[in-house]
Structure 1
């Protein structure tokens, strides 16, 4: 049984006439329902680790964890730090099924990635949403990463393949665990579908938030061990290091 929603209509009305900003209710001048002021005030990621996008004090640096234990993924592409109001929008999308907020964030992420493609980021062959545990999928009714990947697929004209990655172990919620516990929690949690086509392909994982990177590391290692040529990670927000 598939409980993932297959909504084919518009999540919000996207016309050429003026819309209302979803954040402040003022008129939005662009086709997306966000005004220029609110978009400017979003917590855009500044200087960060070249690999995992951890916020750092200067550009061109690599964080200590990536130097000591390089991840299997090549780099993380993410527009925002996990802070207000992006954190609130993600929470309302993820836990309260407020799809317009998720679609808005996906649209802006799509614009950000398109800009990166035009600058220095190679285009992947396919988008792969991070799979959700079956128990959590039944309770929530949808996988937020899969919905983001579908919206990005349309915006970037890239295929989205949702069945390649499987989560075969229901694990505790990652947000309740520290970095070491997250790694233990994910041990043997993922596998590839029997007919997965991975070898030689450039793949991009899609998720909502990157915290310690344990999930992304585990999935990227699985894909690289199966012969993937490269794995990147696309997400909405990156959490800063605790205490910073």
Structure 2
């Protein structure tokens, strides 16, 4: 009885911290929500991280049909969750409500996904590069959410983060508000690499909050490859399901 009373009193005193369900506890994410939304039980394409049909556990995942038909310029993608309710609300809170503590949560969940991934398919990169924002959007928002995720992710994985490995040389419309067929043209030639020597012959990890059509990461990976990058892996907190791209 004493233990039950103490546990009940502790629960009453603790703030309701789970950002998804509001359950009382000391962490931003309760164990139940962590298991439900971030357990990563469903197989994903090793290249683009789109969901794959169930397959025997002893078989390595094959690339999806789209990646087999037209291989992207990036080589692999690790995602912590699907960009769907209720996870998508967290991304919006980070971007538009300045809930920067969520960036550390995203980084931790993404680091967990990286550690679960098969190291043979997903070797660690030499450097992490946050997807850069244009000057106008950076000025409006006041921070780059990709960089806010990349810093704690790099610390968790023991990988250096280079905040300006890539720069955005022109402002573009938000990809999320651009028609799907116009997204490639919208992002084309938007990036530059100031120091080729940091990229040449190396494996670069790109960090972003959400991957939808993949055009932004595709363009940035192509830019890195033109400057000599040997391999590019995407690390994204959330992956938009293909039917909603």
Q: TM-score, normalised by structure 1?
A: 0.84
Match of 1:161 in 2: 162
Change (3 A) 1:180 1:58: farther
Distance in 2 separating the partners of 1:118 and 1:185: 34
State whether structure 2 residue 32 is matched by structure 1 residue 34.
no
Mapped partners of 1:162, 1:48: distance in 2: 28
CA separation in 2, counterparts of 1:228 and 1:176? 30
Aligned-partner Cα distance in 2 for 1:196–1:119: 26
The more displaced of 66-75 and 39-48 is 39-48
Residue 108 to residue 243, structure 1, CA distance change in 2 (3 Å): closer
Contact 1:127 1:153 in 2 (8 A): yes
- Greater per-residue helix proportion: 2
1:62 is matched with which residue? 63
Q: 1:141 to 1:116 in 2, by over 3 A?
A: same
Distance in 2 between residues matched to 1:91 and 1:21, nearest whole Å: 16
- Alignment RMSD, CA only? 2.3
Aligned partner of 1:12 in structure 2 is none
Partner of 2:82: 81
CA deviation vs aligned residue, 1:98-143 (integer Å, no higher than 9, x gap): 1122221211111221232667521110100000011000000000
Structure 1 residues 68, 117: closer, same or farther in 2, change over 3 A? closer
Pair 1:53-2:49 in alignment: yes
Q: Check whether the contact 2:76–2:122 (CA below 8 A) recurs between aligned residues.
A: no
Name the residue aligned to 1:7: none
Alpha-carbon distance in 1 for matches of 2:201, 2:177:
36
Alignment of 1:70-219 (within 5 A): 70-116=71-117, 120-194=121-195, 197-219=198-220
In structure 1, the residue matched to 2:18 is 21
Q: TM-score, normalised by structure 2?
A: 0.84
Residues 110 and 210 of structure 1, relative CA distance in 2, 3 Å threshold: same
For the pair shown, which has the larger CA radius of gyration, 1 or 2? 2
- Please give the alpha-carbon distance, in whole angstroms, between the structure 1 residues aligned to 2:222 and 2:196: 18
How far apart in 2 are the matches of 1:62 and 1:123?
19
Structure 1: stretches of 5+ with no match in the other structure: 1-16
Query: Structure 2: any 5+ residue segments left out of the alignment?
Result: 1-13, 56-60
1:242 to 1:117, Cα distance in 2 relative to 1, 3 A? closer
| Alpha-carbon distance, 1:21 to partner | 2.8
Structure 1 position 27, deviation (Å): 3.9
